[in-house]
Amino acid sequence: MIEPKTLKGFRDYLPEVMIPRERMMEVARNVYRQYGFVPIDTPALEYLEILTGKGSDETERQLYRFEDHGGRQVGMRFDLTVPLARFVAQHHAQLGLPFKRYHIAPVWRGEAPQAGRYREFVQCDFDTIGTESVAADIETALVMHDLIVAVGVTEFKIHINHRQVLTGLLEKLGLLDASVPVLRALDKLAKTSVEAVSAEMQQAAGLTAAQAAEVLTLASVKGSNAEILQQLATIVAGNARGEAGLKRLSDMVAGLAAAGVPESRFELDVSIARGLDYYTGVVFETYLDALPGIGSICSGGRYDNLAGMYTKQHLPGIGASLGLDRLLAALEKLGKLPASKTTVPILVAFFDPDRLNDYLKISRTIREAGFGCELYPEPKKLGAQLKYADQKGFRIAVIAGSQELERGVVQLKDLQRKISSDVAWGNDPSELLRGLANMLQLNEGNLVV
């Protein structure tokens, strides 16, 4: 006998976890599609050189790699960005540009196990490749916005910054060469004091106290988006790079307003930088008002050139990624993730073995009306079936013994309100269907999202 267990660092998704997870992926797909993003898929396995080309040491160490049956060095993808780069480099002539794709798929990293982190996880990415237009930047923010609204959260903020505003300021101050340690220090502004950040800039980046103070004027940039734009204009004035970045931010603020997004949902925020090597333009992070501590649940930004490793074709783009696990955890904390082990609201009980064909007909009638239902798979005492219904979270049981069927009725039992009523059942299904519709409506507050 072999002990049944999941591989260390991996996990099974049981139905009560997989049901909301799958719905969340559907919500994401639907929002992506509404904007004209199209799905692609790429293999789980790639040639090792494709994966390690640009990888950091960290990435390389975490990579699942091996030799395949043909002696090829292969690896399991560790993100969806490297495969996207390879994909667009390989197919751009056929795809046409601009190209907008979404990709929802698992990736694998042999990380050291941590609480809540697994070696297999799903990424939900969307990107617009082959354009530098601000329209793509704005629509990326709109998709992020619509995603969060679509899962039922209304109180959140998309933080927006532009890499060139920061770089422009540093250039203006003659500090471009020190930008990596300066920005690394600046990134800590949200978590520590201005004094500590200033000290780090002086120590790690060799700035004078006056230079650090100049950079830290950024920390005082506050107010409405319009006010922030005004303060930044003064800060970057005279620097072409900074002014260009600021113009993008200003266009974005106007565009998001034109598209009807409430001002309360997005906020210019000079403190976010996000992986400065990769992003070159606008950057995004998204925080839930009720749970700022869990971190950004949807992040992304603009990059200069997606696939320089694989093609000479210049491929600028912008994209973002929904943090599926983090968002699910947040919804659970917010009580917005109803626990259910079933995808349908109705259980048809099966307790008279001779009446199976009646139950099949009842089930069929219910399904054809567009309600899903489960027919309990085998004849059993009613008590056991109702216990099963309770455990799984069904809302209604349809109960019919021989006596009921002979009288031409079936019983509908509202499992939450513990109320039963008989409805006529024979050649005309309308009373049954009306009865179900009424019961479902009465407890629709408990509907699974």
Q: Which residues pair with 301 in a beta bridge?
A: 283, 319
**Cα–Cα distance, 373 to 396 (Å, whole number):** 9
Which of residues 53 and 295 has its CB atom nearest to a copy of itself in the complex? Answer: 53
| Interaction between residue 116 and a copy of itself (CB under 8 A) | no
| Interaction between residue 314 and a copy of itself (CB under 8 A) | no
CB atoms within 10 A of CB 352: 16
Residue pair 266/141 in contact (Cβ under 8 Å)? The answer is yes
| Interaction between residue 333 and a copy of itself (CB under 8 A) | no
Cα 404 to chain centroid distance, Å, stands at 48
Residue pair 76/105 in contact (Cβ under 8 Å)? The answer is no
| Interaction between residue 183 and a copy of itself (CB under 8 A) | no
Choose the stretch contacting a copy of itself; rule: CB under 8 A; options: 32-40, 158-166, 209-217, 421-429. 32-40
44-73 binders of a copy of itself (CB under 8 A):
44-47, 49-50, 53, 62, 64-70, 72
| Interaction between residue 93 and a copy of itself (CB under 8 A) | no
Minimal distance, residue 283 CB to a copy of itself, in Å: 19
Considering only residues 217, 343, 411, 416, which one is a binding residue for a copy of itself as defined by CB under 8 A? 343
**Cα–Cα distance, 118 to 9 (Å, whole number):** 5
**Cα–Cα distance, 298 to 24 (Å, whole number):** 13
Considering only residues 388, 396, 397, 432, which one is a binding residue for a copy of itself as defined by CB under 8 A? 388
Minimal distance, residue 105 CB to a copy of itself, in Å: 9
| Interaction between residue 42 and a copy of itself (CB under 8 A) | yes
CB atoms within 10 A of CB 4: 5
Choose the stretch contacting a copy of itself; rule: CB under 8 A; options: 27-35, 269-277, 286-294, 411-419. 27-35
Minimal distance, residue 74 CB to a copy of itself, in Å: 6
Minimal distance, residue 322 CB to a copy of itself, in Å: 17
Which of residues 88 and 182 has its CB atom nearest to a copy of itself in the complex? Answer: 88
Considering only residues 78, 108, 156, 279, which one is a binding residue for a copy of itself as defined by CB under 8 A? 108
| Interaction between residue 374 and a copy of itself (CB under 8 A) | yes
CA 235, 239, 241: angle at the middle one, nearest 5? 110
265-284 binders of a copy of itself (CB under 8 A):
none
Q: Which of 334, 224, 222 is nearest to 288 (CA)?
A: 334
At 373, the amino acid letter reads C
**Cα–Cα distance, 201 to 220 (Å, whole number):** 17
CB atoms within 10 A of CB 274: 17
Q: Which of 412, 388, 397, 394 is nearest to 343 (CA)?
A: 394
Beta strands 317-322 and 346-348, pairing class: unpaired
**Cα–Cα distance, 374 to 394 (Å, whole number):** 9
Which of residues 68 and 177 has its CB atom nearest to a copy of itself in the complex? Answer: 68
Considering only residues 208, 213, 357, 439, which one is a binding residue for a copy of itself as defined by CB under 8 A? 357
Minimal distance, residue 371 CB to a copy of itself, in Å: 9
Choose the stretch contacting a copy of itself; rule: CB under 8 A; options: 234-242, 367-375, 395-403, 439-447. 367-375
